[in-house]
Structure 1
Amino acid sequence: SKIRYLEDQKLLSPRRTSGGYRLYSQADVERLRTILRLQRDEFLPLRVIRQELAAGGDVVLGDGDRKPAAGAVRRAILVDTSRAYLSIDEIVEETGAREELIRELENFGIVQPEKREGKVVYDETDREIVRAANELSRVGVGARNLRVFRSSADREANLLEALLGPSLRSRNPERRKEALESLESLAATVSHLKHLLLVRDLRRLAGE
């Protein structure tokens, strides 16, 4: 299950009874809500979520408000260079996806593995893409159908490149840093806009 997986990743540590049953405190529940929100709304990989929680960042209070911890600053996802790489066997084990599905996602450019030291490896973003694609495959959405998302992402990336490309390629460190921060901010805004447009269309579909 999702919760068991988060426990395996050391993101949740509920107490256990003498009989082995898990006991979740209110703090555990709020921590779980924070993890799920950061995954769903901000698309953070678990590695970054773990770092943020360890730093005390973005705590969810009981009333649902978010309270950033003093001095806690989220590192930009787009400029994080401490990437972890996984083999296809590790991707299969962590996501439960079939190797055949992963190969199909590669063929359609949905995941983009790299070759390092003679081995084909995937990063954490690839892993989360595979996880999402695997969920969709359970309701009949195949890798071929996901090309629409790939095309949409390409168009959005091209738009942001047109806006910030010169600054991103600047040799001035300060200008490049500002451009990277703007890129991440705009990417979040674009993602939020897409979500809102989808919600509106789904409401129409539901007849609301």
Structure 2
Amino acid sequence: MAGAARTIGRVLEMLRPEFPDISVSKLRYLEAEGLVAPDRQQPSGYRRFSQADIDRLVYVLRAQRDRYLPLKVIREELEAIDRGEEPPTHPAPSEDEPQPEPSRSGRSGGKGLVTRRQVMSQSGLGEAALIQLERLKIIVPRRGSQFYGPEAVALAQAAKKLAGYGIDLRQLRVLQQAAGMEAAIVEQAIEPYRRRSGVPQDIVVDLYRVVMQAHAALLHGQIH
């Protein structure tokens, strides 16, 4: 029966021909973000997806894959559809906007941005772990796009290694908070340059180097 509610396993089977990387974690993440709301009032407590839920998932996944839209923008489009309005047009990025820069190895080179799939493939981090880090706002795409910077790959690599030592991914929030305070020190130091003629790049590089040197020394002192 076409209109019958389906289990999450059946939904995955239906979506995988078009979206081979779809997973239970991904569907739960989209639900947690409020983009789909399957029925959870069943006596068993399991999710049941209607055809409308599935159509909504397809819309979200295509918007991510084909137009590289962030979830916030996709949510706005869905809200417009729910109101019976035409969703605002958000085309895929033009050739002038940042795109992944594949090298001969197929990976993004230099300072190029990478896709979510490349973050996982280059770091070896699983999707469930990446979703958790995204929920914690530790790994996020660059503002206004679905692409990730090199720092996302480095963070994913570190998270995988730390997990191997038994470190819970949530503990990376401590490192994130420390980085935020260190960045504030750098911002304070370069503010006078901003008010004048601009911040020389060598000043920024030196400040970051000194802050990281102090950080490493303090960490070494705490451990030893």
2:126 aligned residue: 98
1:112 aligns with 2:133: no
The offset of 1:135, in angstroms, is: 0.5
The offset of 1:143, in angstroms, is: 2.0
Alpha-carbon spacing, 1:201–1:100, altered in 2? closer, same or farther (3 Å): same
1:151 aligns with 2:172: no
1:176 aligned residue: 199
Amino acid in structure 2 at the alignment position of 1:132: A
Alpha-carbon spacing, 1:128–1:169, altered in 2? closer, same or farther (3 Å): farther
For structure 2, the 5+ residue unaligned runs are 1-103
2:18 aligned residue: none
The offset of 1:115, in angstroms, is: 5.8
Alpha-carbon spacing, 1:129–1:168, altered in 2? closer, same or farther (3 Å): farther
Matches within 5 A, 1:18-167: 47=110, 83-114=111-142, 120-167=146-193
1:193 aligned residue: 214
Q: Deviations over 1:159-196 (max 9, x none)?
A: 121121242364x3xx422xx32221111111111111
Count matched residues. Answer: 120
Q: Point out the more displaced range, 100-109 or 187-196.
A: 100-109
The offset of 1:105, in angstroms, is: 1.5
For structure 1, the 5+ residue unaligned runs are 1-7, 10-45, 48-82, 204-208
Q: Which has the larger radius of gyration?
A: 2
The offset of 1:148, in angstroms, is: 0.7
Q: Is the 8 A contact 1:109 1:150 kept in 2?
A: no
2:146 alignment partner, SS class: strand
1:110 alignment partner, SS class: coil
The offset of 1:199, in angstroms, is: 1.5
The offset of 1:110, in angstroms, is: 1.6
The offset of 1:128, in angstroms, is: 0.8
Distance in 2 separating the partners of 1:182 and 1:188: 10
The offset of 1:152, in angstroms, is: 0.5
Q: Point out the more displaced range, 99-108 or 125-134.
A: 99-108
RMSD: 2.6
Q: Could you state the TM-score of these two structures normalised by the residue count of structure 2? A: 0.48
Amino acid in structure 2 at the alignment position of 1:85: L
Q: Is the 8 A contact 1:113 1:123 kept in 2?
A: yes
Alpha-carbon spacing, 1:143–1:168, altered in 2? closer, same or farther (3 Å): farther
Amino acid in structure 2 at the alignment position of 1:154: G
Alpha-carbon spacing, 1:182–1:147, altered in 2? closer, same or farther (3 Å): same
Give the strand-richer structure, 1 or 2. Answer: 1
Q: Could you state the TM-score of these two structures normalised by the residue count of structure 1? A: 0.51
Aligned identity (percent) is 21
Amino acid in structure 1 at the alignment position of 2:115: S
